Every structure is written in C-alpha cells, then in structure tokens.
Amino acid sequence: QVQLVQSGGEVKKPGASVKVSCKASGYTFTSFGITWVRQAPGQGLEWMGWIAGYNTNAHYAQKFQGRVAMTTDISTTTAYMELRSLRSDDTAVYFCARGSGYELLDYWGQGTLVTVSS
Amino acid sequence: EIVLTQSPGTLSLSPGERASLSCRASQSMSGSSLAWYQQRAGQAPRLLMYGPSSRPSGIPDRFSGSASGADFTLTISRLEPEDFAVYYCHQFGSSPPTFGQGTKVEIK
C-alpha cells in the first residue's frame, strides 16, 4: 500500500533552517511528483510547491521563492523540503502528498509540526 | 491565480441530516481539475472526491460531487458521526494550484 512517512517535529529559532523528509513506499517513486502543503495553527491549507519524482525539477509558490528547496533522493525514495530564514509565522504542520502541481493529491504524509520560536 | 471561495464557513448539522458544501472558482475552470479533501481533527487531509464527481475507492457513496460552471458542490446525503470534519476544495488545472479556505461541518 502507498505510504508517505514524514520526519518528526522540529523546534527552530528564527533565522534558522529546517529540512523535513518524506519517505515514500508502495509505488514507483519516479512515476509521481511530491507536493508540499503547509497548515498554520487553526488555518487552512497552503500550497508550497512540488517536485518531480524522476528528476530535480521543482516548482515553488512565489511566496516561498528563494527561501525553499525541494529535493528527492531516488535511491531511498525520499523527498525533502528545506525552508530557510525561518520566521515565527512559518510555525505550521508541513505535509507531503503524492501528486504533481497538475494533479490531485491522493496520498498524504502524516504531517510534521515545525515550531519557530526564540 | 484562481481563488476558490468555500461557503458556508461553518455548517452546523445533526447526524442523519444532509450537508451541501459550495466551492466557487474566481474564473472558469474544468471540473476535471477539482478535488475535495476531508480533514478530521488532528489528521492529514484525505482525498474524498475528484473530477468533480468521482470517488476514490473506500469513500462511501453518501458523498457526491457536482459542478455547474465555476460552482462546485460536495454533498453528504446523510451525515455520519465520522463526517464531522473540515472540507477543502483544491484546483490543480491552473498554476499555481490553490485551495479553498475550508468548510467546517460541526455537530449541532
């Protein structure tokens, strides 16, 4: 069965970086993209960007351009999302989901809480 | 970008009642590029409906979807206790993909 298992919660100080992982299993990793979505406390879903499973081609929401990097490791079928220069308003649960920017998101990771606090 | 406006923000209903959730797009779009997700408290979103009236396997047939122009509707024919959750629509036909702000279905 398809599974996306994310890394554990993180606490970071403002200005730091965080890297969240998303380990995929149960399907051919290179056949699907991975999308990252975040959800601030009590808020809705915010699309951050996506990366193709078969190469390094990533597409980011304008809001995060220059501050986010999405990568994949095909050998371990793991996707990563790194967010730099963290601010308090980056405190959120970060989800990975299977699907590209042109597709529905049919499987989701369990989410990773990133807390930014001094 | 396409803005999706969901209404109402909150729907207060009793188990067994019918729920009708709306998602309106700011510009014309294909229904084949719209999906609905259910998010229960403390959980990740789950794909509920797509295309706009197709259900993934395992989704009960009390859930249905429809489209009329730029208006999309998710209907729950008879609410079960596990249906009380937040529902989001999502368009992926135009870049960037966007989500509606969500409709919370709560127990009255």
What CA–CA distance (Å, rounded) separates B20 from A21? 37
What integer pLDDT is reported at residue B55 of this predicted model? 97
What integer pLDDT is reported at residue A55 of this predicted model? 78
Cβ atoms of A64 and A83 within 8 Å: the answer is yes
For the stretch A18-69, pLDDT in tens is 999 999 999 999 999 999 999 999 999 999 999 999 878 899 999 999 999 9
Nearest to A38 by CA among B45, B26, B40: B45
Question: In chain A, which residues have their Cβ closer than 8 Å to the Cβ of B85?
Answer: none
Any bridge partners for residue B72, and if so which? Answer: B23, B67
Q: Which residue of A has its CA nearest to B89?
A: A45
Question: In chain B, which residues have their Cβ closer than 8 Å to the Cβ of A46?
Answer: 99
